[in-house]
Structure formats: C-alpha cells, structure tokens
Structure 1
Amino acid sequence: MTAGKTEIDTLVVGAGQAGVAISEHLSKLGVPHLVLERNRIAERWRTGRWDSLVANGPAWHDRFPGLEFDDLSPDGFAPKERVADYFEAYAKKFNAPVRTGVEVKSVVRNVGRPGFTIETSEGVIEANRVVAATGPFQTPVIPPIAPKDDSLTQIHSADYRNPQQLPDGAVLVVGAGSSGVQIADELQRAGKQVYLSVGAHDRPPRAYRNRDFCWWLGVLGEWDQVNVKAGREHVTIAVSGAHGGRTVDFRGLAHRGMTLVGLTRSFNNGVASFQADLSENLARGDENYLSLLNAADAYIERNGLDLPLEPEARTTFPDPECVTQPILELDLAKAGITSIIWATGFAVDYSWLKVGAFDANGKPQHQRGVSSEPGVYFLGLPWQSRRGSSFIWGVWHDAKHVADHIATQRKYLAYRDTAQRQAEDGETAKVSHKPLVSA
C-alpha cells in the first residue's frame, strides 16, 4: 500500500491469530478485504513474551483446523517462535491480503455516506466495515500501588525475557496466573530466591488419566460455557506447557524454596503488605482442581472408558510454613529483593477506533463480536462468545461467525442495489420503446 487513498469493502486491523482467522473466512466467502498489521504477523508471539514461552495448550488443540504442527508431537507444546511461524504459514496458505508495517491511527464514521475513513501511516483508506482484531493483550498494566523506588528494577511480564535480564538479588513476582507462575518457576530454577504473590486463580490439572485438561474441558462442555460465573470475571488460570507440561502446584513450588504470599496490597517506605488470603486462595484453587478430577472420573464411569486410574493426582504436599504462618509484611531490602515483576495483565486500547461502540468504561459493546455500532466488529476478546474464545481454535470459530455476519450484510446491500438497478432498467426500457413522433 502506498500513500494515497485506498477503497476496500472490509478492513481488518491486526494480523495476529484473530486477524489471520477472519481473513481466511472472508476469503472463502469472497469478501474483498485488507488486513493491516503495524509490525509482523503474530509479532507478539515473537517479541512480546519471554524467551522460553511455549503454548499453554498441546499442539493438537492449539491450532486452526486447516493446518497441523507437522514437526511437533500432537501432545507437545509449541515454542513461541514456532507459533508465530505457524500463523505466517497459515496466512500464506490462502494468500491472505496482509500488509505489514502499517499502523492504523484513526477510524471515523463517514457523515452523509456509508462506511468509514481510516487514517494510516501510509495513507487514507475508505472501508464499508472495520474489524478490530487486535486482541486483549494491548497495554501492559502495572497497578498504581507500584513503589516509587529507583533502587528496584520493576518490569511487566510483557517486558520480561530471561533471568539474566535481572540484577542479582531476590525477586517478587506479583500475579500467579499462567505468566506469573511460569516466570517465577523459571527464576527459581535459575537460582533466584523468589517471592510469589498469589491471588484468586483456577488451577486445572495439566493432564489427568492420560488426557490433557484441554480434552477434559472439551468433552465436559466447559469450553462452550457462554456466561462467566458471578465473581469469576477476572480469575486467572494457573496452567503451563513448560518442561513438557506439568500441573502447577503452588505448595510444590514452596517446598522447593519459593516463598508464597497473599494478594499484594500496598508498598510503604520499602515494606510490602499482603492480604491475609493466601490459604483461602490456595484452597479455592484446590477446589477447582478437584472438581475437574471428580467430573472426569464421573465422565469415565458414565461412558465406560478404559482410562488408567491416577490416585496420585489427589496427593498434595502439606502446607508449607509460608502458608501456615503467612507473611503479611515484607521489608524488601532485608529480604534482598532487588526486582519486582508485575504479572498483572493487560488492558485494551481502542483509542484509534473513534466510534460509538463502547460503554462508559471503554469496554466494547458487542454480541459475539458484532458491535453495537453498525459496520464495526471485534475479534479476539476473552469470552467473546464462550469460554473457549481465548484459545487459538476458539478465535477461529468466533471469526467464522463475524465473517458470516459481514457476508450477510453484503447480501442485504446487494439486494437493495439490484432492486434499484431493476427499477432503472425498467425506466430505460420505457424510453427505448417510446414511439417515434414525426415533426
């Protein structure tokens, strides 16, 4: 794309997994479209995560239907670079119209005529529809409680790469979802003294009775849940594909030398304060873990499956001292802590999308990705249509729904235009059959 003005039916912003997915569906439906990506395809998989990251789901599960990871075991976990290569290969597979290195600066609705005007780093685009496929991981969030202390190295998990990046000394990792627990584990394995702040979380088994938890959530119908349970909107999931995939066990980490603390509350004069909720958070995580084991056992019995018993899955470590005698205050200097890693999630940034598609809190208003603003669509959001929307395969299915909606809208417009042409043809016919009148 060169400087100037381009016209396209549908513009897709973002060429990560969501953008590639909807491009495939739009291509199959014959919808003219263009995908813009300010960096490279699936760039966040390459440079927006730590070096050792692997996919949290096995290769047979975390993929699109049209292409397998042919160089990996189906039960293996793809390294982040391999995932990025996968999406590039997938885009090439159907010749996706992707333009990289182009930043979308603003999208505004046209006045008095259909569609939108899009300002980009390489010119102006006119489009009838816009799909925001930028996903949920846009702006790293470090909470305002972060201490104003230049002696501490503080980074978000999005900027963490490897243990060598940090100075000597102990590390406080705040947040125990998938990112936080994997980073804390890696730092401990590298010889760091690690303090891990654990909040509310779900803790599924990595695998149980010879089936990965992704399989269990599938056959039990959990991926198809359409409503978030009350009070569970922001609960993280502690799961990992690292080291071949192992169940996250916080007590096990503590028995290896990691110090667990509750939810981080505040910092004051070099002292960190924590909620007295560590034991409760671990208990709720255990409850989530055991509930899945129980559901799996019942499913096996109900269907007469021949899957091996796994009684050791219910064996737990005893509560370590950091749980029985929780630390509520910690002097960072005395503990030797020189770094804090904030594994505290991300916020969306739709400042470029200047349309009425958001509520008072800036949250997208949509139904399964179809925005309240006609012609605007969202893709790649958590719980966009169901629990599985956060996974690669879930994005693909959500994209199909959005693409089908776009194709249907095009048919409505085509019908209107056809009717108008028929009327015009009728008028032309009347003129052509008008009797000649001699002077």
Structure 2
Amino acid sequence: MLPSPQARFAANPHVSGAGGGHDLNLHQFARAGVTLLGHLTGASDGRLGMAPDLHESLAKSDQLEARVLGLIDSYIARNGLAAPEERRVGLRDGYDQSIITELDVQEAGITTVIWAAGYNFDFSLVKLPVTDADGFPLQQRGVTAYSGLYFVGMPWLHTQKSGLLLGVGDDAAFIAGHIAGG
C-alpha cells in the first residue's frame, strides 16, 4: 500500500488519541509560544546548531496534513458515509517564527535536551547481511533469517503502526511468541 519501499522511512503525522483524539499541529505549538527550529546539525561547547529548514519542514507537514485529510474525505465519499463536514482552519503561525541557526544552551535557559526525532537507522553494529538496498531490515514481521535476531519498533515493520507506541506491543508480542515457540 506504500508508493515505494523508501516510503517506509517517512515520518508519521503528528496525531494524538488523548481526550478522544485531536491534531498536534506544529502551527498550534508556535501559537502556544513554542519556539520551532530546523533540524539539529551539531552541538559543541554549549552551542546547538540548527539547519535553516524550518519553513521546508512546516510545508512538508502542511502537505501531509492536506493529503491525509483528502484521503479521509475520499473514503467518506466513496463509501457514502454520513459524516459532518469539517472546516479546517489553515494555521500559518509557524511561518512567522524567526529562523534560528544557533543557540547558546545556557543563554536560552535550556537545561534538558530530549533527543527524540531526526534520526536515521544504523544497523552497522549487526555484522550480518540483514538489510535491503535501502537499509531496511530483511525480515518477516520482525523475524530475520538469523536465529535469535529480531527487529521491533520500526515503521512499517509489519503494519503502519509498528513504529508507534500504539502498535509496537503487537509486534513485540508476536516476536515473544515466536521466541517461546521456537
């Protein structure tokens, strides 16, 4: 169902199931006073460097949101579902933020850094031929051809939710069952 094998590496949209579900839009964060930045390029001597790509990231997020909403609307129309029409407010607050390419951690009052995004897969630690040409593990629902080597928690490992907290438990349970049965 993905347009290409490389699509497995794309990020998931910002969504939440909290309180019945709601959007987590980057522009809402900007509106609430959160400083949005480009991706981290480095850290040295108490300074963080960021790429000047904030607006590109916001544009990608906006495009993804429009594409997902279009898919939902198409599904509703195709299946003749009775659903209230939703009017989306086009938020643009993030584009009003200044592009920051360097921060002094102490001056900015940063006391904690949570490293949670912007990573790439690196399986160089595994000295076996376990990845395809794109660097994605060769596996079936996390089970590799090598006894005792498994993968979990990766996007599209088995389903779209495999890389999310919502779905990693299903994949982990399957792997645990495989280990226990084998």
Q: What TM-score do the two structures reach when normalised by structure 2? A: 0.70
- Asked whether the equivalents of residues 40 and 48 of structure 2 are also in contact (C-alpha less than 8 Å), the reply is yes
Tell which structure's C-alpha radius of gyration is larger: 1
- What's the CA shift for 1:300? 1.5
Q: 144, 157, 160: which one pairs with 1:387? A: 160
Within 5 Å, which residues of 2 pair with 1:356-375? 358=130, 365-373=138-146, 375=147
Inter-partner Cα distance in structure 1 for 2:43 and 2:127: 39
Structure number with greater CO (CA < 8 Å, separation at least 6) is 1
Deviation string, structure 1 residues 375-411 (Cα, Å, up to 9, x no partner): 5563634223342434439836x939x85xx98xx9x
Q: 319, 332, 341: which one pairs with 2:114? A: 341
Q: Secondary structure at the match of 1:341?
A: coil
Q: 37, 51, 71: which one pairs with 1:295? A: 71
Q: Which residue number corresponds to residue 399 of structure 1?
A: 174
Q: Which residue number corresponds to residue 317 of structure 1?
A: 91
Q: Does 1:329 align with 2:102?
A: yes
- What's the CA shift for 1:355? 9.6
Q: Which residue number corresponds to residue 280 of structure 1?
A: 56
Q: Does 1:378 align with 2:150?
A: yes
Q: 1:266 to 1:322 in 2, by over 3 A?
A: farther
Deviation string, structure 1 residues 75-132 (Cα, Å, up to 9, x no partner): xxxxxxxxxxxxxxxxxxxxxxxxxxxxxxxxxxxxxxxxxxxxxxxxxxxxxxxxxx
Letter of the structure 1 residue corresponding to residue 144 of structure 2: S
Within 5 Å, which residues of 2 pair with 1:58-137? none
Deviation string, structure 1 residues 205-260 (Cα, Å, up to 9, x no partner): xxxxxxxxxxxxxxxxxxxx367652651525422234543200111111111111
- What's the CA shift for 1:262? 0.6
- Asked whether the equivalents of residues 40 and 49 of structure 2 are also in contact (C-alpha less than 8 Å), the reply is yes
- What's the CA shift for 1:364? 5.1
Q: 1:393 to 1:308 in 2, by over 3 A?
A: farther
Q: Secondary structure at the match of 1:337?
A: coil
- Asked whether the equivalents of residues 152 and 168 of structure 2 are also in contact (C-alpha less than 8 Å), the reply is no
Inter-partner Cα distance in structure 2 for 1:348 and 1:264: 18
Q: Which runs of 5+ in 1 are unaligned?
A: 1-224, 411-439
Q: 240, 248, 265: which one pairs with 2:24? A: 248
Letter of the structure 2 residue corresponding to residue 380 of structure 1: V
Q: Which residue number corresponds to residue 233 of structure 1?
A: 9
- What's the CA shift for 1:332? 2.4
Inter-partner Cα distance in structure 2 for 1:274 and 1:386: 33
- Asked whether the equivalents of residues 16 and 23 of structure 2 are also in contact (C-alpha less than 8 Å), the reply is yes
Q: 1:301 to 1:399 in 2, by over 3 A?
A: same
Inter-partner Cα distance in structure 2 for 1:366 and 1:392: 17
- Asked whether the equivalents of residues 357 and 364 of structure 1 are also in contact (C-alpha less than 8 Å), the reply is no
> Larger strand proportion, structure 1 or 2?
1
The alignment-based identity, stated in percent, is: 29
- Asked whether the equivalents of residues 369 and 378 of structure 1 are also in contact (C-alpha less than 8 Å), the reply is yes
- Asked whether the equivalents of residues 260 and 322 of structure 1 are also in contact (C-alpha less than 8 Å), the reply is no
Q: Secondary structure at the match of 1:292?
A: helix
Letter of the structure 1 residue corresponding to residue 109 of structure 2: G
**How many corresponding residue pairs?**
172
Inter-partner Cα distance in structure 2 for 1:292 and 1:306: 19
Inter-partner Cα distance in structure 1 for 2:47 and 2:122: 31
CA RMSD of aligned residues (A): 4.0
- What's the CA shift for 1:286? 1.1
- What's the CA shift for 1:303? 1.7
- Asked whether the equivalents of residues 379 and 399 of structure 1 are also in contact (C-alpha less than 8 Å), the reply is no
